[in-house]
A and B are shown apart, each in its own frame.
Chain A
Amino acid sequence: MQVYLPIAEVSVNLYLLLGLGGLVGLLSGLFGVGGGFLITPLLFFIGIPPAVAVATGANQVVASSVSGVLAQFKRKAVDVRMGLVLLVGGLVGSGFGIIIFNILQSLGQIDLAVQLSYVVFLGGIGMLMFLESLRAMRRSKKGGKRGKRHIHTWVHKLPLKIKFRASGLYISVIPPILVGVCVGILAAIMGVGGGFIMVPAMIYLLGMPTKVVIGTSLFQILFTSAFTTMLHAVTNQSVDVMLALSLIVGGVIGAQFGSRLGALLKAEQLRILLAVLVLSVAIKLGLDLVLTPAELYSISIAGAP
């Protein structure tokens, strides 16, 4: 069954969209990432114009993170105070991100920027997580001692310290705000919630316990992606509500299954799965940049989204 998307002006199979949404929702619930890093490239692939894919991806992330964060609130796994601090940074960052997005789009370099950021960030983080999880799994198999939980670094010497009770942390607000800004910029440019950067940054940079990381990241992503959706809708008119709705319907259902499934798996297993997924997307996009493309030319409508 075909559905004609009013903003993208393309006709797509409805079941394909529901399936994509469902798959991404499942991952979202499982890993606490919005899943935008998968949905945006997949939408490019099925022929949605890049600007529409990025903007609509942000809207889809809103739905999956609402669904996910409610499940996490039930489990009391959300550090609201940390979420709010991250959010302040996130809103500033996505404002900057939209400006950068529009400049790059007029220069014709948006595809390159999106792909490069995917390769660099996904590749780097995927690698880091993969190695870390391997080490953690080996340690737990041998039954050896775990490393020290809190390692005091420069992060702990900054001023403006606040207590984050749910996370059991007493740190400066500067690192979380900076993390928020970076993630906000990427969220707007890449059409992602930024969970795949947020989650490792929270674990490794801020030293938050894994059990509150997913809920808190979803909490923050919810607001950042809502803000990004509004900005894209107002500046580019590129949010396709029909496309978003089809993805959302699949996505929210997938997310619920994902969070149930997530409760059954071990944290190390979850992390290594996410790492493999993130790495494979990065490798695919990296190859696209380096290999000679079949068509050297591309066309875009001047002055349109």
Chain B
Amino acid sequence: MIRLLILLFAFALPAHAEQVVAGLSKESIGITASFDGSEILIYGAVKRYEPEPEGRLDVIVTLQGPSSPVIVRRKSRELGVWVNTDAIEIPSAPSYYAVATTGPRQDILASEVDAIYRIMIPSAMRSFSDAIERANASPFAEALQRIRINEGFYRLKEGDVTLIEDTLFRADFQLPANLIEGDYLVRIFLLRQERVIDDYSAPIKVRKVGLERWLFMLSQDYPPLYGLLSLAIAVFAGWAAAFVFRRFR
């Protein structure tokens, strides 16, 4: 009888002693004509089956946008004029990547762990491409990160995850107005002593809706019709203005 109980317990016990349970404030975002950014709240709790182990507990939340190939060009001076001379193509880079943590990277995440899970911005970039590991390409990859960080598309927010009593956590993300549509991915990592003990991921769909969707599809699927529509609007607006002003005088 006791043996059976022990066996049952053994099955019931999860692989990890601690697990992440999480939710998102929204699972899809619609880009309308008046879209000017969106907020998303990612919240969750740590589920335990035994007393809390020793050591520091941390949470990292990442949010990444759809990836696409990117060309990075470098200017140099030719005959006194700055010209794009060198270029490399990075096969895949996320259009958006934000990392929120409970503390500074060096305190909460071992770099070899980061290399496996591709969490922080530089290592996440590496996972998207082998090309940027070539020695001569690294200034280009750094430039890509630098430019996207400056433009607000890549963000590192150390200390922005609030962790209460080592159990409840939340992270707020401000999505920029210049959002590109596609499938976004949320990843949550639970770390103890700089090691990942559990992770969780969930998708967020970002789509143009209404008029935005209609115009975009029209421009892609029926370019001549779309072109004529643009012209018709332009001609009508020009004529209407001339007409109105003539009546006005």
Chain A positions within 8 Å of B, measured between CB atoms, are 1-4, 6-7, 9-11, 47, 59-60, 62-68, 70-71, 74, 108-109, 111-112, 116, 226, 229-230, 232-234, 237, 239, 241-242, 244-245, 248-249, 252-253, 255-256, 289-290, 292-293, 295-304
Contact A4 B33 (CB under 8 A): yes
Shortest beta-carbon distance, A228 to chain B, in Å? Answer: 10
Contact A229 B230 (CB under 8 A): yes
B241 at interface, CB cutoff 8 A: yes
Chain B positions within 8 Å of A, measured between CB atoms, are 31-37, 68-77, 80-84, 87, 89, 139-140, 143-144, 146-148, 177-181, 208, 211-213, 215-216, 219-220, 223-224, 226-231, 233-235, 237-242, 245-246
Q: Which of B69, B73, B178, B234 contacts A9 (CB 8 A)?
A: B178
Contact A301 B234 (CB under 8 A): no
Known A-B contacts A229-B227, A290-B80, A293-B75; the reply to A2 vs B234 at CB < 8 A is no
Contact A71 B237 (CB under 8 A): no
Shortest beta-carbon distance, A223 to chain B, in Å? Answer: 11
Which residues from chain A contact B146 at a C-beta distance below 8 Å? 295, 297
For the complex, give the distance between the alpha carbons of A144 and B240 in Å.
45
Shortest beta-carbon distance, A165 to chain B, in Å? Answer: 25
For the complex, give the distance between the alpha carbons of A136 and B81 in Å.
35
Which residues from chain A contact B148 at a C-beta distance below 8 Å? 299
Apart from the given pairs A67-B239, A230-B231, A301-B69, 10 other A-B contacts in the complex at a CB distance below 8 Å:
A2-B177, A4-B32, A7-B219, A47-B178, A230-B224, A248-B233, A255-B238, A296-B143, A302-B68, A302-B89
For the complex, give the distance between the alpha carbons of A2 and B37 in Å.
10
Which residues from chain B contact A234 at a C-beta distance below 8 Å? 223-224, 227
For the complex, give the distance between the alpha carbons of A79 and B233 in Å.
26
For the complex, give the distance between the alpha carbons of A289 and B227 in Å.
33
Known A-B contacts A237-B223, A293-B82; the reply to A2 vs B35 at CB < 8 A is yes
Shortest beta-carbon distance, A214 to chain B, in Å? Answer: 15
Which residues from chain B contact A60 at a C-beta distance below 8 Å? 234
For the complex, give the distance between the alpha carbons of A13 and B49 in Å.
52
Provide the main secondary structure of the chain A interface: helix
Shortest beta-carbon distance, A27 to chain B, in Å? Answer: 15
Shortest beta-carbon distance, B198 to chain A, in Å? Answer: 35
Q: Which of A242, A253, A290 contacts B215 (CB 8 A)?
A: A242
Contact B238 A245 (CB under 8 A): no
Contact B230 A112 (CB under 8 A): no
Which residues from chain B contact A70 at a C-beta distance below 8 Å? 238-239, 242
Which residues from chain A contact B223 at a C-beta distance below 8 Å? 233-234, 237
Which residues from chain B contact A62 at a C-beta distance below 8 Å? 231, 234-235, 238
Which residues from chain A contact B237 at a C-beta distance below 8 Å? 63, 66-67, 245, 248-249, 252
A-B contact pairs, 22 of them (CB 8 A): A4-B32, A9-B181, A11-B35, A11-B36, A11-B177, A59-B231, A62-B231, A63-B238, A64-B238, A66-B238, A71-B242, A226-B235, A233-B219, A233-B226, A234-B227, A248-B238, A252-B237, A296-B143, A298-B72, A298-B84, A301-B69, A301-B71
In the complex, which residue of chain B has the Cβ closest to the Cβ of A301? Answer: B68
In the complex, which residue of chain B has the Cβ closest to the Cβ of A288? Answer: B82
For the complex, give the distance between the alpha carbons of A244 and B226 in Å.
13
Q: Which of B37, B69, B230, B241 contacts A255 (CB 8 A)?
A: B241
For the complex, give the distance between the alpha carbons of A295 and B239 in Å.
44
Contact B140 A297 (CB under 8 A): yes
Contact A239 B234 (CB under 8 A): no
Known A-B contacts A4-B36, A11-B37, A296-B75; the reply to A63 vs B70 at CB < 8 A is no
Contact B34 A2 (CB under 8 A): yes
Shortest beta-carbon distance, B189 to chain A, in Å? Answer: 28
Which residues from chain A contact B229 at a C-beta distance below 8 Å? 241
Contact A233 B31 (CB under 8 A): no
Contact A3 B33 (CB under 8 A): yes
Closest 3 CB pairs of A and B: A66-B238, A233-B227, A252-B241
For the complex, give the distance between the alpha carbons of A295 and B83 in Å.
12
Q: Which of B32, B68, B148, B235 has the most CB of A within 10 A?
A: B235
In the complex, which residue of chain A has the Cβ closest to the Cβ of B235? Answer: A66
Known A-B contacts A229-B230, A239-B230; the reply to A256 vs B242 at CB < 8 A is yes
Which residues from chain B contact A59 at a C-beta distance below 8 Å? 230-231, 234
In the complex, which residue of chain A has the Cβ closest to the Cβ of B241? Answer: A252
Shortest beta-carbon distance, A205 to chain B, in Å? Answer: 28
For the complex, give the distance between the alpha carbons of A268 and B87 in Å.
48
Which residues from chain A contact B140 at a C-beta distance below 8 Å? 297
For the complex, give the distance between the alpha carbons of A293 and B36 in Å.
30
Contact B70 A301 (CB under 8 A): yes
Q: Which of A6, A112, A230, A303 contacts B83 (CB 8 A)?
A: A112
Which residues from chain B contact A226 at a C-beta distance below 8 Å? 231, 234-235
Contact B235 A63 (CB under 8 A): yes
Which residues from chain A contact B35 at a C-beta distance below 8 Å? 2, 4, 11
Contact A66 B36 (CB under 8 A): no
